[in-house]
Structure 1
Amino acid sequence: MVIQRVLVVFNKMKSGTVNIATQIKAKMNELEIDCQLFGYLDNPSEVVCHHPIDFVFVLGGDGTVLFSARMLYKLEVPILPINMGSIGFITEVSASEWLDAFLTYKNGQLDVSKRIMIRATVYRNGKKITDLVGLNDGVIGSSGASKIVRYQIDVNGVSLGEYRADGVILATPTGATGYSLAAGGPLIYPEAEALLVTPICPHSLTKRPIVIPGNENIRVTLDKEQRTKISLTIDGQVEYFLEPGDEVVFSKTSEKTIIVKSDKRSFYEVIRTKLGG
């Protein structure tokens, strides 16, 4: 595996990330691999990268991976997430394992996991007004005192019906372990080509989560009469305020986030550990 240029993205608020980033840069210099460091405190609008890269280290937690995936997804380069706390659902590699994982991958002995991402395109009065991308999910929900959101969902033009709920979660398989799971949605193997629709506290027992093939478009249309302010949140990190009557079309992106897998633990082992099985 030829790796000539790497980028290290690290969340400075996570303890130990600066130290590990410095270690990575020193080791890359030793291996004669060009290494750029990008540390951040808040959520910058972009990841600054001065030239093309072949590989990305991400230091932090799952939130840091979500941020990095949104910033870098168009590059489709392998990302090695390194967890700086407890093992996350995405960050399977611990801080003590980063060098072994990198060298094993470089020697062609580690597989990658290709994850679909979700795109949320907002239309107002028939006009496209914004386009947002996330690795985990897009959530339409109340941002006001009253929690009830009224909306309709259709898949490729076929109606799933009208909903009165606290909102709706449109999740990727990667995001199925997040908010969707807490709202009663199922787990999905992270490399599956599917999107998950999970109503949030629906006011009807017949409105249940549904798994949709990844190649289909899901349209959420807000009723024109609402009693609350409504927002669209991407990966729990980016918020966009909606208006009554807005339409949000969810689909998968053509690009995928490429995650380097751990050879120490599988997705099923992480699920068992995190969910207390």
Structure 2
Amino acid sequence: MNNFCIITNIDKDNEYKTTKLIQEYLTSKGKRCIISQENTAGTNDERTDVSWIPDDTDCAIVLGGDGTIIRAATDLYEKEIPLLGINLGTLGFLAEIEKQDIIPALDCLLEEDIHMQKRLMLNGNVSRNEKAFYDDFALNDIVISRSGFSRIISVSVYANGILVDTYHGDGVIVATPTGSTGYNLSAGGPIAAPGSNVIMITPICPHSMSQRSVLLSSEDEITILIDKSKKTQKEEAIATFDGRMAMELKAGDMIRIKKAEKVTKLIKINKKSFYEILRNKLK
């Protein structure tokens, strides 16, 4: 690898000390390394500006937390650049390299003593009156949740056109294996190994003791129909893709979700297994 870019969450490294350390080290090794100076990855209202990233970039080094990596993965979807995460956040399931291990990790990267993981992504398409009005990708999850305070919504979930269930509650999570340790886990959903070819459907606070998560094949197409639950409220629910872009949904709106054509490539240097990391992170 010869060409690198650094995507920095400025809330985690606001003076670019760690960022510049990495750039200087790579430059001293004869590599090209450019820095995004105005990136706001990890926030809910901004996208990573990828126009500054050359097409021949071999690796994007992402500094921040898992949220920064998730944002970068979506924004770099078309470029398909492998990502290496440096953890400046808290848990760091995706950003596995800790600050004190940066130099040894960079050495492994330069020697290509690495393992490349391919992570499944979701493509979600939102339509109203049979007309699509929003389309995006998600590495973690697509969430349909209630828009009102202290009220429930009703959503019907279909797999390949067949009704799976109708959920009454706070909403539903459609998660990838990568997203299984996020909101899905907090809502009582299962944990899936990163390489699993599954998609999880997990209800959020369902008003039924018998409703639990459902695991589908990654080849299945999921359709979520927003049902009418309150006559006096125009908006029934909101949809978020990896925690961003909250859009209001009305009764009759439909979200079609399927496996994205491309994957996120994560560079793994840490020799620890997913299960060891899981035990350590979740204690």
Query: TM-score of the superposition, structure 2-length normalised?
Result: 0.91
Residue 131 (1) aligns with residue 148 (2): no
8 Å Cα contact 1:87/1:94 also seen in 2: no
Equivalent of residue 268 in structure 2, options 236, 241, 261: 261
Q: Is residue 49 of structure 2 the alignment partner of residue 51 of structure 1?
A: no
Residue 249 (str. 1) matches residue 256 (str. 2): yes
Bigger Cα displacement from structure 2, 84-93 vs 134-143: 84-93
CA deviation string 1:33-74 (max 9, x = no partner): 221111434553332324211111000011111111111122
Q: How does 1:45-84 map to 2 (within 5 A)?
A: 45-48=47-50, 49-52=52-55, 53-84=57-88
**1:167 aligned residue:** 171
Post-superposition, which runs of at least 4 consecutive aligned residues in structure 1 deviate over 4 A? none
Identity between Structure 1 and Structure 2 (%) = 34
Q: 1:22 aligns with which of 20, 23, 29?
A: 20
Counterpart of 2:266 in 1: which secondary structure?
strand
1:270 alignment partner in structure 2: 277
Measure, in 2, the Cα distance between the counterparts of 1:244 and 1:92: 41
The answer to whether the Cα contact below 8 Å between 2:66 and 2:89 also exists between their aligned partners in 1 is no
Q: What is the alpha-carbon distance in structure 2 between the residues aligned to residue 160 and residue 178 of structure 1?
A: 23
Amino acid at match of 2:12: K
Q: Secondary structure, in 3 states, of the residue corresponding to 1:255?
A: coil
- Specify the alignment match of 1:183 in structure 2: 187
SS of aligned partner of 1:74: coil
The question of 1:120 aligning with 2:124 is answered yes
2:48–2:72 contact (8 Å) kept in structure 1: no
May I ask how many residue pairs the two structures share in their alignment?
Answer: 274
* Structure 1 residue 87: Cα displacement: 4.4
Q: 1:107 to 1:73 in 2, by over 3 A?
A: same
Confirm or deny: 8 A CA contact 2:167 2:206 kept in the other structure. Answer: yes
Q: Which residue of 1 aligns with 2:154?
A: 150
| Partner-residue secondary structure (3-state), 2:77 | helix
Deviation at 1:15, TM superposition (A): 4.2
Structure 1 residue 185 displacement after superposition: 0.2
* Alignment-derived partner of residue 29 in structure 2: 31
Q: 1:16 to 1:83 in 2, by over 3 A?
A: farther
Contact 1:114-1:259 at 8 Å conserved across structures? yes
Cα distance in 2 between the residues matched to 1:125 and 1:114: 36
1:79–1:258 Cα contact (<8 Å) kept: yes
Which runs of 5 or more residues in structure 2 are unaligned? Answer: none
Output the amino acid matched with 2:34.
Q
Deviation at 1:264, TM superposition (A): 4.5
Query: Structure 2: how far apart are the matches of 1:256 and 1:70?
Result: 10
Provide closer, same or farther for how the CA distance between residues 76 and 50 of structure 1 changes in structure 2, counting only shifts above 3 A.
closer
Secondary structure at the aligned position of 2:223 is classed as strand
Structure 1 position 103 matched with structure 2 position 107: yes
Q: Which one-letter code corresponds to 2:83 in the other structure?
A: I
Which residue identity is paired with 1:252? K
Select which of 227, 251, 254 maps to 1:223: 227
Residue in 2 aligned with 1:205? 209
Aligned partners of 1:71 and 1:99: how far apart in 2? 27
Write the letter of the residue equivalent to 1:148: I
RMSD: 1.8
Gap regions ≥5 residues in structure 1:
none
Equivalent AA in structure 2 for residue 188 of structure 1? A
Of 20-29 and 172-181, deviating more is: 20-29
> What TM-score do you get using the length of structure 1 for normalisation?
0.93
C-alpha deviation, 1:254, in angstroms: 1.0
